[in-house]
Structure 1
């Protein structure tokens, strides 16, 4: 299944350890966001999606063990899907979040028809895609979305390569919303909110949430 260096990396033991390290309850998930950014993930989502119907069909690409899907479900969203590369994470996700269609697969080859979803989203996933591969995974996300592309990612005004737990070539910061719009001119950004870190260990860094609409 692995087609890139990054996919092979995340499919193995490093990806499994990540899943185990971030296996939180709903309260712990919100507490982590509150500690890092001063706001819960639930509130971030609500601020961005306040006008989205609860029956909107949403696909999360790279859903890992399903924490964001569970958060959306607890917010009242009822039509949720996830795709995740790592088999271990898929099995954990099915234990953590119920009544959600979670499949094993790659964001580079999403097995759903064009415009099948109202929203296609990533949550800290594009940061782990090699820059040269971004247009390919973004193309699949745009293809499957009828209306919105949504994201929460590390932010930098220009591309920055970051050492990730002693590994090079597995983490980048960038303006991913801008990259989407540069490659897919039918997308227009309709929401952007910056989240500077409040935790002492991350001072000076910033993440952001964006929502793009197909025109």
Structure 2
């Protein structure tokens, strides 16, 4: 399968620097979210996973070194999978995770059967997919999910391109839950919460978490 410009970018040297810059241990991971949004990622996750059983089968698309999956594991989830484009991040994940199934691959071609997972999720991944390519990854996520699509992404009411560390064409913000529903009208919005950055008055930046459920 032909790779996109964004896949080439993130699987190369820039992506490795990103991984090194953003790899944190469990305590640092929660502290990072606390400092930037006023809540830990564990607290955010708990608001959306309440009532899910320990054996809920969860796939994270673009899991990098598996920090989110480790957080879910610490919350009691036992059936965790990740797929990550960057081989460097996958190798680091293997050094820092146990009993989590992380493989190298593309979100555009998930190597799993239809409906294999209860939940398919992303965390800061769709923001790096070119708008023209979003339908492909969204279709794959919906195909592999038996019930939920769960996301944590950079939010804007309208799709907007923004520069990323001096590079153009590698970061967008949007209402990704709405884009999922436009593409797949049978998805029902179960819950969403906006998380403004603590410095949002200056930056205007907002992230959000959303949960969609398949109804057909």
Q: TM-score, normalised by structure 2?
A: 0.97
Deviations 1:110-159 (A, max 9, x none): 00000000000000000000001001100000000000000000000001
Cα distance in structure 2, aligned partners of 1:143 and 1:214 = 10
CA contact (8 A) 1:181 1:188 kept: yes
Residue 29 to residue 196, structure 1, CA distance change in 2 (3 Å): same
Q: Give runs of ≥4 in structure 1 deviating > 4 Å.
A: none
Residue 202 to residue 60, structure 1, CA distance change in 2 (3 Å): farther
Give 5+ residue unaligned stretches, structure 1. none
Give the C-alpha shift of residue 52 in structure 1: 1.2
Cα distance in structure 1, aligned partners of 2:200 and 2:179 = 30
Give 5+ residue unaligned stretches, structure 2. none
2:142: which partner in 1? Answer: 142
Give matches, 1:87-166, under 5 Å.
Answer: 87-166=87-166
Residue 200 to residue 131, structure 1, CA distance change in 2 (3 Å): closer
Give the secondary-structure state (helix, strand or coil) at the position aligned to 1:133.
Answer: helix
Cα distance in structure 2, aligned partners of 1:17 and 1:201 = 29
Give matches, 1:159-174, under 5 Å.
Answer: 159-174=159-174
Cα distance in structure 1, aligned partners of 2:5 and 2:201 = 29
CA contact (8 A) 1:2 1:8 kept: no
CA contact (8 A) 2:164 2:170 kept: yes
Give matches, 1:193-212, under 5 Å.
Answer: 193-199=193-199, 203-212=203-212
Give the secondary-structure state (helix, strand or coil) at the position aligned to 1:47.
Answer: helix
Give the C-alpha shift of residue 202 in structure 1: 6.0
1:86: which partner in 2? Answer: 86
Give the C-alpha shift of residue 5 in structure 1: 0.3
Cα distance in structure 2, aligned partners of 1:42 and 1:86 = 25
Give the C-alpha shift of residue 95 in structure 1: 1.0
CA contact (8 A) 1:35 1:199 kept: no
CA contact (8 A) 2:200 2:206 kept: no
Cα distance in structure 2, aligned partners of 1:138 and 1:95 = 29
Cα distance in structure 2, aligned partners of 1:202 and 1:3 = 37
CA RMSD of aligned residues (A): 1.2
Give the secondary-structure state (helix, strand or coil) at the position aligned to 2:148.
Answer: strand
Q: TM-score, normalised by structure 1?
A: 0.98
Give matches, 1:18-33, under 5 Å.
Answer: 18-33=18-33
Give the C-alpha shift of residue 200 in structure 1: 6.7
